[in-house]
Amino acid sequence: MIQEKEITICDLRINYKEAGEESSLLNSLPAGQTGNRQVIPLLILHGWGGFSGSWEGVSKILALKGVRVIIPDLPGFGKSQTPRSAWGVREYSDFLLNLATSLKLKEFFLLGHSFGGRISIKFAVFHPEKIRKLILCDSAGIKEQYGPKEKFIYYLVKIGNAVFTPEPLARLKDAARSFFFLFIRHKDYAKAKGMMKEVIKKVLDEDLLADLPQIKNETLIIWGGRDKLVPVKYAAVFKEKIANSQLKIIPPSGHSPHLEFPNELSEIIWQFLQQGSNREQPAT
């Protein structure tokens, strides 16, 4: 059963979904010992344009296996309120820390998909002690190296920014920028409205490549073999840069394996959550 809840974080009304029993993925005690056992939930961060409901299929499957899953609508998405200023990846990372504190989550498994992967990378760098294990699914974060055509369009946009600054040409500035992002397949920019357009500009301007080697948590990298938004070649970069990592490819999947192959994705996640010490085994 999936429950929909609401909480106030950073003065914003945040919607989130929760599935699974309170007895999920517990810290097991050595034989013969007694005491409190701590719940270790899985917290999922959706991608740009997504919302908590887009991960319901996976959360239901994992909940049936005994995993407690928490999926927030990130600020500006779903039923959550939009930030009042242009947030970047660091601000979303700070939001995640405040969410975990408010929900009294001392430690959790963290899964980030696409844009949610950006947030997860930054969070892992600044708060590794909060993460039991990290999962990056078709993660964004590495700034694409543009070819000659893209660079030409980019310089035209830069010139356009100067040309279109005076009124009444200023309104054409966003149109020029939108054309560039559409050309390089960033359709999310063209779809963004209001403050979220400023947010996505700030997010896309940041390259997280240098952050990857700083990740010390055990990490699972999952990628769709037919991902056209963040091509699978970037999966190899993530694997190379993150020392304690493993890579799983879902060959027939595109950018959204949680929607295309929820059963296969859920099994990969489940196996990873169980790997390692006894305290990561589900309670019986």
Q: What pLDDT is recorded for position 129?
A: 97
Beta bridge partners, 8, equal 13
- C-alpha dihedral, 58 to 60 to 65 to 66, nearest 10°: 120
Q: Establish if 196 belongs to a structural domain.
A: no
Angle at 115 between CA 111 and CA 117, to 5 degrees: 35
Q: What pLDDT is recorded for position 1?
A: 80
- Judge if 64 and 126 occupy the same domain: yes
CA distance 132 to 144: 30
Q: What pLDDT is recorded for position 189?
A: 63
- Judge if 62 and 110 occupy the same domain: yes
Instruction: List % helix, strand, coil for the chain (3-state, nearest 5).
Output: 45, 20, 40
Q: Is the dihedral of CA 173, 179, 184, 188 positive or negative?
A: positive
- Judge if 254 and 165 occupy the same domain: no
CA distance 116 to 71: 11
- Judge if 232 and 275 occupy the same domain: yes
Residue ranges of the chain whose pLDDT lies below 50 = 23-37, 149-151, 153-154, 164, 169, 180, 182-185, 277-284
Q: What pLDDT is recorded for position 254?
A: 98
Retrieve residue 197's tokens: 């357009």
- Judge if 129 and 153 occupy the same domain: no
- Judge if 118 and 179 occupy the same domain: no
Q: Establish if 176 belongs to a structural domain.
A: yes
- Judge if 170 and 217 occupy the same domain: no
pTM > 0.95? no
Query: What total number of domains does the chain contain?
Result: 2
Q: What pLDDT is recorded for position 284?
A: 26
- Judge if 110 and 240 occupy the same domain: yes
Element (H, E) at 100: helix 89-102
- Judge if 264 and 158 occupy the same domain: no
Q: What pLDDT is recorded for position 186?
A: 55
Domain range for 14: 2-143+202-280
- Judge if 118 and 103 occupy the same domain: yes
- Judge if 236 and 160 occupy the same domain: no
